[in-house]
């Protein structure tokens, strides 16, 4: 349990709110040096630096496989964007975690389809909670899959246009560029770089924005290969990517993390059609695709449950939903934990 001592400290200081004369508390940011770990946190605008033994945390993180089978229950949500408290309420009331913020979804799989970063003020709290729950889930035979969305890649690639005032101030107080707080010499930075952009559980594909036929034509249908390519080329800044062949992989309109073509509002601009969706499902040998990225008031089901949009507006901090899949049926889980089945239509 020593690995999560920092997490407990973090959660205790995070209650000190931002906004009162720009006094903030933030962290932990843990840097990897040759023979030790350096932990930097902020408490009431004061930077606190401590040293940890090198074995306090894992320092190497390896990608998992991209496909999982025979999973009996699944939950999915997206685009939390720093809304830690709302996410906690949603996960508790839908029995994903318990009152002590520990994993209670047993052998189920929880999928977060990206966008923890930006907009909100409790990003780091969320990252450490996910880090902890991921380990707890594995120990209980379940899984937590954290997929990277466009905002994760933006941070890792030094595109900081959506930072809130809190994290601009954090960077200033720590005297470290914000993207460097998640550099490859940090615990969270290495952990993030091991994460996938797309996975498949049973006959359901999960990604942040969506999968287009054009994307599959260009990059293939092997999910492990796609994830490997996304990781391998995630060593460039956005500006550096512009001079490579991989800019469209991250920032193109058909990128897994920016695509919006499943939603009627974007049909014309993305030249999307139902026939494309059927062909994509066929190529992926899947029946359903679950995405975030395109914000809705509630989770939406499209094309007879072939597509689910699970970005339910959590980023606004007022309400949110989680998608539950069990016994081959799909359910909307609301903030109070009430489940409502999605019927084919």
| Domain CATH for 166 | 3.60.21.10
Asked if the structure places residue 41 within a domain, the reply is no
Asked if the structure places residue 208 within a domain, the reply is yes
Asked if the structure places residue 35 within a domain, the reply is no
Q: What is the mean pLDDT of each run of 10 residues along the chain (345 residues)?
A: 49 46 93 97 98 96 97 98 98 98 98 97 97 98 98 96 96 98 98 98 98 95 97 92 93 94 78 79 98 96 95 97 97 98 83
Q: What is the pLDDT of residue 270?
A: 67
Q: What is the pLDDT of residue 52?
A: 98
Q: What is the pLDDT of residue 51?
A: 98
By CB atoms closer than 10 A (0-12, 13-18, 19+), residue 161 is exposed
Q: What is the pLDDT of residue 275?
A: 64
Of 302, 219, 228, 204, the C-alpha closest to 254 is 219
What is the domain extent for residue 329? 62-341
Asked if the structure places residue 30 within a domain, the reply is no
Say if pTM beats, i.e. exceeds, 0.85: yes
Asked if the structure places residue 54 within a domain, the reply is no
Our count of domains for the chain comes to: 1
Asked if the structure places residue 17 within a domain, the reply is no
Asked if the structure places residue 318 within a domain, the reply is yes
Asked if the structure places residue 268 within a domain, the reply is yes
């Amino acid at each position: 349990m020593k690995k999560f001592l920092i997490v407990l400290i973090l959660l205790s200081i995070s209650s000190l709110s931002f906004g009162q004369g720009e006094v903030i508390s933030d962290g932990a940011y843990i840097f990897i040096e040759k023979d030790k770990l350096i932990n930097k946190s902020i408490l009431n605008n004061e930077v606190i630096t401590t040293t940890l033994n090198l074995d306090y945390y894992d320092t190497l993180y390896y990608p998992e496989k991209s496909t999982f089978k025979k999973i009996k229950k699944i939950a999915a949500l997206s685009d939390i964007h720093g809304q830690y408290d709302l996410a906690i309420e949603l996960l508790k009331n839908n029995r994903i975690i318990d009152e002590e913020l520990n994993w209670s979804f047993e052998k189920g799989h929880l999928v977060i389809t990206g966008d923890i970063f930006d907009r909100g003020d409790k990003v780091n709290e969320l990252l450490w909670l996910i880090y902890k729950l991921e380990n707890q889930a594995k120990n209980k035979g379940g899984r937590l899959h954290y997929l990277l969305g466009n905002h994760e890649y933006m941070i890792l690639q030094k595109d900081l246009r959506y930072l809130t005032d809190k994290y601009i101030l954090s960077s200033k107080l720590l005297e470290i560029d914000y993207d460097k707080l998640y550099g490859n010499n940090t615990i969270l930075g290495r952990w993030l770089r091991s994460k996938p952009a797309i996975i498949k559980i049973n006959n359901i594909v999960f990604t942040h924005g969506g999968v287009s036929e054009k994307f599959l034509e260009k990059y293939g249908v092997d999910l492990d290969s796609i994830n490997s390519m996304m990781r391998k080329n995630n060593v460039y800044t956005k500006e550096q990517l512009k001079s490579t062949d991989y800019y469209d992989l991250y920032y193109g309109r058909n990128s897994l993390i920016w695509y919006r073509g499943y939603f009627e509002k974007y049909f014309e601009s993305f030249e999307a059609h139902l026939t494309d969706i059927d062909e994509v499902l066929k190529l992926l040998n899947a029946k359903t695709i679950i995405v975030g990225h395109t914000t809705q008031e509630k989770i939406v089901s499209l094309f007879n449950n072939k597509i689910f949009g699970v970005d339910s507006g959590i980023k606004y901090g007022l309400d949110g939903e989680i998608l539950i899949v069990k016994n081959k049926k799909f359910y909307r889980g609301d903030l109070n934990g009430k489940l409502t089945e999605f019927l084919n239509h």
